Amino acid sequence: IQPGRYLVSDIELLQLGKHPGKINITDADNALNILRYMPDTPCVVIVKHNNPCGVAKSSSLVEAYCKANMADRVAAFGGAIALNKNVNRETAEAIVQNYAEVIVAPDFTEDALKVFATKQNLRVMRIANMERLRDFACQHVVDFKSLIDGGIMAQWSFVPQTRTKDKLLSANAIYKGKEYHINRMPTEKEYDDLLFGWLIECAVTSNSIIFVKDGVTVGIGTGEQDRVGVAEIAKEKAYRKLADKLCWQQHGIPYNNLKDASIKAEIDSEVASRKGDLVGSCMISDAFFPFRDGVDVGIREGISAVIQPGGSQRDFESIEACNEANIAMVFTGQRCFKH
């Protein structure tokens, strides 16, 4: 590793176990890519194979961790966990209930380190100046990619320009001389979830769709070839993850291990009635919708607001779809393209 300007040179491995591999470091780095936009409220990001599988913010760090973990408990197994506040014993005890590869935080209490010491192969990294993430949250770095023939491509890193409510654009479009306008703007609560989701989306591999509700990711679809397809995947994951969450909380076993048909039927019925907890959620898209079919996936599940870059020749279709369902939609004016 070549030390960077702010963080890498100050990493301290407080507990080593096995030496961190490249994927451990890149997972932690992508988690920090999200946390740099979340400096104040306690926030936890769990990353697996360079994509977030659960992100949550809350009034306390332990609550944020529990919400992030339960957002996708299965995928969180063996992941990298990044926390933006100092880790205390209560949070550490919650973390060690599951298997994790890496824990990254600004600091840890002595009691928390004693808890982590019970997991010999857990890598515990302290980044004492993590708060300086905000100092360069808006700065570009040079991204390098090695090509198959040994060539190297260099480009500026992506930086989201839309990070506050006042930067968002009302969804408007002109098609064949006719103007289309969104009828409803987001509520304050929706704005909060939309912006939270947008800054998470910037660290998700394109094409992607995520759903966010009450400061927690509900479903994350990553790296698909078509927009409606990834919307459907994110929806289906929300259903599966809620089923597993309910099964785990009520019976202490993974949904995939559930053998009792009657219990399974009860859980499936509750998941269906709650529509995977997507009702009232916000839909976040890293790219514009070329047709309304992607937005319609979320509308059928009861979403209340959409954020997307805008810029499609057929934006009017998505605007009409949202107006028909009385759903808010805003444009960022910028795509967060990540490959």
- For the record, the structure tokens of 8 come out as 């890498």
Q: Write the pLDDT tens digit of every residue in 96-137.
A: 999 999 999 999 999 999 999 999 889 999 998 888 887 777
In order, the DSSP letters of 114-139 are HHHTTSTT-EEEEETTGGGGGGGTT-
DSSP 308: E
Here the tokens at position 93 are 């005890």
pLDDT value at position 10? 60
Tokens of 150: 């040994």
pLDDT above 50 (res 55): yes
Q: What pLDDT is attached to residue 60?
A: 97
How much is the average pLDDT of 39-48?
94
Determine the angle formed by the axes of helices 261-273 and 227-251, rounding to 10 degrees.
Answer: 130
Check if the beta carbon of residue 71 is closer than 8 Å to that of residue 242: no
Percent above pLDDT 70 for the chain: 97
Of 33-42, 82-91, 232-241, 322-331, which range is least confident?
A: 33-42
What pTM does this model have?
0.93
Of 105, 107, 66, the residue nearest 82 (C-alpha)? 105
Neighbour-count burial for 136-167, b at 16+ CB within 10 Å, e otherwise = ebeeeeeeeeeeeeeeeeeeeebebebbeeee
For residue 260, pLDDT over 50 is answered with yes
Q: How far apart are CA 154 and CA 213, in angstroms?
A: 36
Residues 6+ positions from 4 with CB-CB distance below 8 Å: none
Query: What mean pLDDT value characterizes the chain?
Result: 93
| Interacting residues of 231 by C-beta distance below 8 A, sequence separation 6+ | 209, 221, 283, 285, 294, 295, 297, 298
**Residue 9 confidence (pLDDT):** 47
Our CA dihedral for 52, 58, 63, 69, rounded to 10 degrees, sits at -10
